[in-house]
Structure 1
Amino acid sequence: MNVQDYKYFLLKSIFYDLSLYFGSESKIGKNLSDLEKILEYNNLLLLDKVSSKLVDIISDNNGFKFTEPENKKFLKSIFTTFKKHVEKDKTTNGEYTINGEYIRYYPLSEIKNSIIYPDKIKDNSSDDYEKYIENLDWEKIVDSEDINSVLNTLSNIFCYVPYFKDGKYGIGDISFYDKLKINTALASCLYLLKERNELNESFLNDDEYEHFVLLSGDISGIQKFIYTISSISKGVLKSLRARSFYLEIMLEHIADEILEYFNLTRANLLYTGGGHFYLILPNYSNIEEIINNIIQRLNDWFIDNFYIDLYIAMGVEKFNFNNLKDFSSVFKKLSSKLTQMKQRRYIYGFDNGQLNNLLSLKVNKYRECTICHSGFHITRERIIKNEKTKESNLGYVCDTCFNLYNAGKYMLSKEESIFVVNNNGKESLDNNLMVGLPSLYYECGKNENKEIDRYLYFGTKEKINSSNLVRAYSKNNKENKYVNLFLGDYNFKEDKEDKNLIDFETLVKGTENNNTIGINRLAVLRCDVDSLGDAFMNGFIGHADILRTSSFSRHLSLFFKYYINFICEGNINIDNYKLFGDSFHNNSFDRKEEKRIVIVYSGGDDVFLVGHWLDVINFSFDLRESFRKYTDDKLTFSAGIGFFHTKYPISKMASQTGELEDLAKKNEYTEKNKCIKKDSVALFGIPHSYKTEEDKSFKYVFTWDEFKEIKSKIDFLFSVCYFSKDDYDKEKVLLSVSLMYRLKQLIELYDKDRGINIARLAYSLARINYNNENNKNYNLFKDKIYNWFTAGYKEKEDKKNENDKKSKYLNKEIKYLNIALDFIIYLFRKE
């Protein structure tokens, strides 16, 4: 294959119709037209075929109608076509209709350092955007040696620009970037098939012929690999974040290894995240044999380095041009194949040699690593030096864990790039900043051929020989010439110049100069998008094509891998949530919008992070409200938030918060006589005394909207009460800790089906001191509390009369009050 011809072909496919948006008469349009002429690839048969099929998909309205004029300058939100937008309208003969009020537009913009929301109001800054485009050095972009670098640049500047051609605009929710990316992905597959003499003109014109395959990869064992470390080991948070980051880069690396093996670019990468990736590959005659060989080599490497702790499964599904319009069917078939493969681990077709070799391995050959607890590798006693702690003994640690620990500060630095190197010239690099990576050329038992090894290197590029460099990545850096990876890597720092990761104790308690407030508890948040699989499979009625599938996954990844960093910073372009609102004033508590949080993992749809309990609560609501606006309230997520001592084992934190997340996903509520599931949050933890699912779910699981009722209770209590001598207010009544516990005790008695004790409640309220100055607030307080309790009692009696089995459940008013009191108690406690 002529490499230069192939490069021109790829560039031609990228710039094939990009000048359409600006028009041939404009300055930028002429520049792009001239660039297309420069590209020395003249055979447009393959490009014409692919582009025409994609334009047909884009231009198909499929029954959607609009009540307002089209505006081709602005891209409609991908959720314009999402299923919750669509309703049958009998007045239009059963056609699907979108009312103008539902349509949201993205501003004409590049990707910025803030969240870009779709909105009803059209942005009018197109002139500024076009000036930005005109000032780009287009010849330099085209002259780049790396096609991935070109894609990198164009993804930033064309992801919010709508595609149209010859007046064909369709619904207007497909961006120019999505079109050029899929155009390049499919065209490159056809080019490679033609190079192998597996494509002739009759095959090209046959839309039923399966030219392509969709490959899905899935790494198992991620949870165990990340969370196996002990909370009492030194630098637990650094190790935790480093292990998570390592797997994120490994996933990108494996996808790139496969793409490079097939001579493809990242245009063929549909999605990476959560241990999964999807690639579009050419349907070679021996494609299944090739993929089986790739899987076997990757798992050989995993076995040699991590035994069975990590495993990769892959499956392929063939598809044709006709399948592009209903790509969800391809995903469904592929999902089924991947499930079957996971059930037959280490067996490829009729080859079970890897499984037999695995059974003969000796696992625990060495002293156990104090970080990962594996006995599969040589361990050594490691002493680390630190300016603050001087010396610290990590114990007996394996090379992988030790190098991940050392590389932690580089992983968390925004300035550093990440390099993948091979073994050529390895002696010039710092071995303590290198961690192994799988290779498609790895052969089990032939490890002595070091040139086939791959390493993740966190040092500077100056020491890397050109023959040593395999590829380079940059993090959240759109201007970098390396392949940009959007990664949720926010980590709170007391000192912005300090590259070391904060520890659990400092995260929770703060420092002498920057105290935290409230109980010293670490909160762990785990959440993911509700019914995401169903959204991919059934989310687009009549529009489940390859373009919208790609755009949908890209927008979700952008939110959870990039925009989440700004939410942690408090930069959300909407009002920040505050559990205690502005009514709580304390001189020692100058709460900034920036959260005391460290993201452990944030993938394509799910999040795991740790932080100060109050910041995690506030962040979770900021995340939820941002996500609602970002998706136009068409997707939800559920979360578990657990509270823990800092010395509690991290693996237990992860598993118990995962249980809370599961409970949130099982939650059901009724809205407008319709049962709605999920969209909930589960709090605190699951007491050991709760035995059944029914018991687990009744107390601390709420919908996000219900949680707002808890906040309203908190706001009311702060408006009429003060809680200690430090915040004394003569016009308010004292709500002491002892009184809060008495009220909680009455709630517990109510909960145990003993009935409300009116006398005890009246006695507790009567003991509150009041006078002429605070009499008004005292009456408001006691009346409100009394009404909440007695309303709950009456409702309970009604349920008893109906023999309702759920009669033991707390009335909502006092259920919300109970949690509100918990939070206020946490606010004023220390231990």
Structure 2
Amino acid sequence: MIEEIALASLLHDIGKLIRRAFGERKNHQDLGADWLEKKGFKGIIPGAARYHHSDRFGEIANSNYLLLIYEADNLSAGERRIKGDLLRESITGEFEERVPLLSIFSRVSLDPDKPDTVKPVFVSPFYLDEGSYIPPEINEEQMGFEELRAKTIPQSTYRELWTRFEKEFDLINNTKALSTNTLLFLLQKYTSTIPSHTLVALDKEKGGILWGQFPDVSLFDHLKSTAAISGALYRYILEKYRERFYNEQLINEITSEESRLEKRFLLIGADLSGIQDFIYTVTTTGALKTLRGRSFYIEMLCHHLAREIANALELTTANIVFVGGGGFVLLAQNTDTAKRVIMETMEKTNSYLFDRFGTNLYLGFSLTELSGYEIAGTGLEKGQRDFGTIWKNLREAIDTQKLRKWKNNLYWILKPHEPKKENCQVCREEVEEITPIDEDKNLSGCNYCRHFYEIGKKLGSKRYRFIIKNPPMESDFEINSSSYAFSEHPSDSETVFVINSLDPEDYKNRNSIFIPYGRYGVTGEFDELSELSTGVKRIGALRMDVDNLGQIFSRGLKRIRNSQEISYQSFSRMASLSRELNLFFNFYLTQILECKLFKDFRSLRLLNEPQPRKAVIIYAGGDDLFITGSWDDVVETAFDIHRCFKLHTGENPYLDLSAGVGIFRTKYPLYKMAQEAGELEENAKRNIKDKEEKRSVCLFRSDLVFKWSEADKILDTMRLLLNLTAQTNGRLRFKLPRKFIYEVLKVYEELDNLEAFWHPKLFYITTRTGEKLKSEENKKDWYVLRNEIMKPDNKKHITASLIWLDLFLRGGERND
């Protein structure tokens, strides 16, 4: 029955898409129910579509199943309630069927006293696919209803979404593959960029739209949240009132105000500790494939555990709120049975991790009890917590548990151990025996590294897009008591994870689950990638993550208006924020490196025409990433990712990235690359200018740290410098003596000690050098460049530009 409840919840508002696509006058409840009945559905699936609004409560009250979905729908839609000073007589609401979705990022602010700092951003509707992304549109704060109508979504756009959705729905349904798993895939593909409701609040007294009440949760996030809440509530009610549930209508027990104050739900959070050391411990030949394999294993470990807990609690995939960044969050029923099952699963997992990987990996977890009002975000006046506080407390409890992670294993950890016979060539761990990993490269190591190496090899081929649980063929890796294998074809397995594919043909197994994953990577190891570099043959390493993420989730969805705090923190909004961030790092990131995020996307190319980057995603998920590859592509990719992230978040000033970019010789140990790029990233996070920290990039060395706005000056200077170059026999040639670069850098290094002498020195160097130029066009660029070089305030960004140019010019050098 839990599957039927989930399907009914996910489809209860499908009539909204039909109504917007065809301009039907019939209400969305009847449109959805009629369509579902036409498709052959019976019982609560069309019933929930027809009966989920209070004006039909008489029919709803006749079924406990409909009551559950009705209550879940109300709690999921808690963000639609008018709050605070907005509740006054001058406020009116009007429905505009095709109003666009306000980006959830428009709600984020870390300065609640300045509610108008963040501009409203409309999400442009599109279906999820490669190259289909449309950047959101930034709007001015003041907008009337007529101006809004000029920006509404064309009916033809909705009709295309609906036509495609229905065609793929029929394809999956007609093969008996429709399930919570496959329906979630379809709904995310087609309804994650359209609003869950279209009621617009207007202020007749002041004029204009109230952005605080504008639709900001997608239809997908509302439907999935409704399914998660109804599933958890069903399990709670069934355990508490099992006999009564089947014999009487539990109206008060399910929908009353008292029941909404009851702690009926559990929020489960889990986070792996030791990821950095686990992934970046690799040192030698085959490091690239092994690291990618380890990173993917972490991702699959989280998906496996989230599914295992959901299955053990007799819930569905809809109850998995979020998976990514080495952790996951679920919504479940608050029962003693559920708590026991969760504890047993977590303890079994940590025992497994300890047996396999010693103290390298540990799963920290915590549970917090929730009321219905806390899920809806509407119970502050009743003494309930806001969801941001709940999220923060959950994270703090996990972090506290990590501090005591191996308390039950101290005896084994502290007792003396006999040294083992061999050392793995890859991870350096002591093992009893080593096995061949890659005979062509004379590489041997432990059994785990052999598996990770094979995973990394298969990740490099897009044809392996299925991960089969407990497969009939030989497995590629194991988690707990389950085995997994890559496959080129789906199977009838109990679980099939489908990596990145948006082709409905890949979802003809009802157990197919869509997972976005940043698997982009050109083939080859470091020596091959460095040879593909322009100029010097080096490897670039990029570490990058979102600034202030903890604060964004704990207090980023709050505002102060008229001295009153207004919280926009609800379960649906937090789920939407998590999903959008994870989608950027795990799905859009690959398209950025492929240089095809959207139709008019132009990647940064200082020398060559746009083409897929010669780089590899080692790790990406949640809110951070690690990319390596040809040094020139990696440096430019940092700028591409930042630009796309700012586009995706609507230029929100409180949402930004910090990055560290290092350049290394090919033979340099990869774990050291990761460590030093991480140190550069930390330098970027410590950068403070005009009382603002972070939002920076650290390029090449620790003292070259720039705000992203300053880093744009580096690109301008690079374009001037490259105008003074020419390609000769495939190599870049500077039209000026290369010693000019080193002379300027030397003066800059001595700038603080030269006092009054730096200016004549630079003037002499630049004048003497400029005389060697013959082209008038080159001289024009040179005069602009010389003026920039002569300004002492430009020292830092000119230094970075000259280092960058020097790397381009040093072609043909070997790596050893």
Aligned counterparts of 1:167 and 1:767: Cα–Cα separation in 2: 66
Q: Is the 8 A contact 2:6 2:318 kept in 1?
A: no
Aligned counterparts of 2:805 and 2:172: Cα–Cα separation in 1: 59
Aligned to 1:767: 768
Aligned partner (choices 216, 228, 234) of residue 191 of structure 1 = 234
Q: Is the 8 A contact 1:12 1:36 kept in 2?
A: no
> Aligned AA for 2:500?
N
SS in 1 for 2:366: strand
Aligned to 1:712: 716
Aligned to 1:429: 473
Name the % identity: 25
Aligned to 2:103: 77
Aligned counterparts of 2:773 and 2:348: Cα–Cα separation in 1: 82
Matched, 1:164 2:197: yes
Aligned to 2:361: 310
SS in 1 for 2:70: helix
Q: Label 1:63 to 1:572 Cα distance change in 2 as closer, same or farther (>3 A).
A: farther
1:62 CA displacement: 5.6
Aligned counterparts of 1:775 and 1:417: Cα–Cα separation in 2: 55
Aligned counterparts of 1:555 and 1:130: Cα–Cα separation in 2: 22
Q: Deviations over 1:87-116 (max 9, x none)?
A: 76xxxxxxx6799x7342322534454433
Aligned partner (choices 518, 524, 545) of residue 488 of structure 1 = 518
Q: Is the 8 A contact 1:213 1:316 kept in 2?
A: yes
1:338 CA displacement: 1.3
> Aligned AA for 1:252?
H
SS in 2 for 1:228: coil
- Following superposition of structure 1 onto structure 2, how do residues 322-721 of structure 1 map, counting pairs within 5 Å? 322-324=373-375, 325=377, 326-347=386-407, 352=408, 354-356=409-411, 359=414, 362=417, 364-375=419-430, 377-382=431-436, 384=438, 391-395=440-444, 397-422=445-470, 429-430=473-474, 433-438=475-480, 453-459=481-487, 469-478=493-502, 479=504, 480-481=506-507, 482-492=512-522, 501-510=523-532, 516-541=533-558, 542-573=567-598, 574=600, 576-578=602-604, 580=606, 590-634=608-652, 635-670=655-690, 675-686=691-702, 699-719=703-723, 721=724
Aligned counterparts of 1:735 and 1:122: Cα–Cα separation in 2: 55
Q: Deviations over 1:14-43 (max 9, x none)?
A: 222321342375987731354596135753
SS in 1 for 2:663: strand
1:181 CA displacement: 0.7
SS in 1 for 2:197: coil
Q: Label 1:776 to 1:203 Cα distance change in 2 as closer, same or farther (>3 A).
A: closer
SS in 2 for 1:379: coil
Q: Is the 8 A contact 1:188 1:264 kept in 2?
A: yes
> Aligned AA for 1:429?
M
Aligned to 2:164: 132
Q: Is the 8 A contact 2:6 2:228 kept in 1?
A: no
Q: Label 1:657 to 1:359 Cα distance change in 2 as closer, same or farther (>3 A).
A: same
Q: Label 1:45 to 1:747 Cα distance change in 2 as closer, same or farther (>3 A).
A: same
Number of aligned residue pairs: give it. 721
Q: Is the 8 A contact 1:597 1:612 kept in 2?
A: yes
Q: Label 1:36 to 1:175 Cα distance change in 2 as closer, same or farther (>3 A).
A: farther
Matched, 1:243 2:294: yes
- Following superposition of structure 1 onto structure 2, how do residues 28-107 of structure 1 map, counting pairs within 5 Å? 30-32=34-36, 34=38, 38-40=42-44, 42-43=63-64, 44-60=66-82, 70=96, 72-83=98-109, 102-107=120-125
Greater relative contact order structure (CA < 8 Å, 6+ sep): 2
> Aligned AA for 1:572?
L
1:13 CA displacement: 1.8
Q: Label 1:184 to 1:766 Cα distance change in 2 as closer, same or farther (>3 A).
A: closer
1:782 CA displacement: 5.8
Aligned to 2:799: 818
Aligned counterparts of 1:612 and 1:822: Cα–Cα separation in 2: 16
- Following superposition of structure 1 onto structure 2, how do residues 100-249 of structure 1 map, counting pairs within 5 Å? 102-120=120-138, 123-124=153-154, 125-138=157-170, 140-141=172-173, 143-144=176-177, 146-164=179-197, 170-197=213-240, 201=250, 203-204=253-254, 205=256, 206-230=259-283, 232-233=284-285, 235-249=286-300
Aligned counterparts of 2:402 and 2:731: Cα–Cα separation in 1: 63
Aligned counterparts of 1:415 and 1:669: Cα–Cα separation in 2: 47
Task: Calculate the TM-score normalised by the size of structure 1.
Answer: 0.80
Q: Deviations over 1:53-76 (max 9, x none)?
A: 333432436667899995535322
Q: Label 1:193 to 1:184 Cα distance change in 2 as closer, same or farther (>3 A).
A: same
Q: Label 1:357 to 1:418 Cα distance change in 2 as closer, same or farther (>3 A).
A: farther
- Superposition CA RMSD, Å: 3.3
Q: Is the 8 A contact 1:420 1:454 kept in 2?
A: no
Aligned counterparts of 1:237 and 1:771: Cα–Cα separation in 2: 45
Aligned counterparts of 2:620 and 2:275: Cα–Cα separation in 1: 13
Q: Is the 8 A contact 1:749 1:755 kept in 2?
A: no
Aligned counterparts of 1:363 and 1:606: Cα–Cα separation in 2: 39
SS in 1 for 2:495: strand
> Aligned AA for 2:712?
K
1:458 CA displacement: 2.2
Q: Is the 8 A contact 1:19 1:33 kept in 2?
A: no
Range 521-530 or range 703-712, more displaced: 703-712
SS in 2 for 1:334: helix
Q: Is the 8 A contact 1:13 1:183 kept in 2?
A: yes
Q: Deviations over 1:263-290 (max 9, x none)?
A: 1112111111111111111101254443
Structure 2 alignment gaps of length 5 or more? 46-62, 139-150, 202-211, 245-249, 378-385, 559-566
1:772 CA displacement: 9.9
Matched, 1:267 2:318: yes
Q: Label 1:393 to 1:780 Cα distance change in 2 as closer, same or farther (>3 A).
A: closer
Structure 1 alignment gaps of length 5 or more? 89-95, 386-390, 439-452, 493-500, 511-515, 585-589, 687-698, 793-810
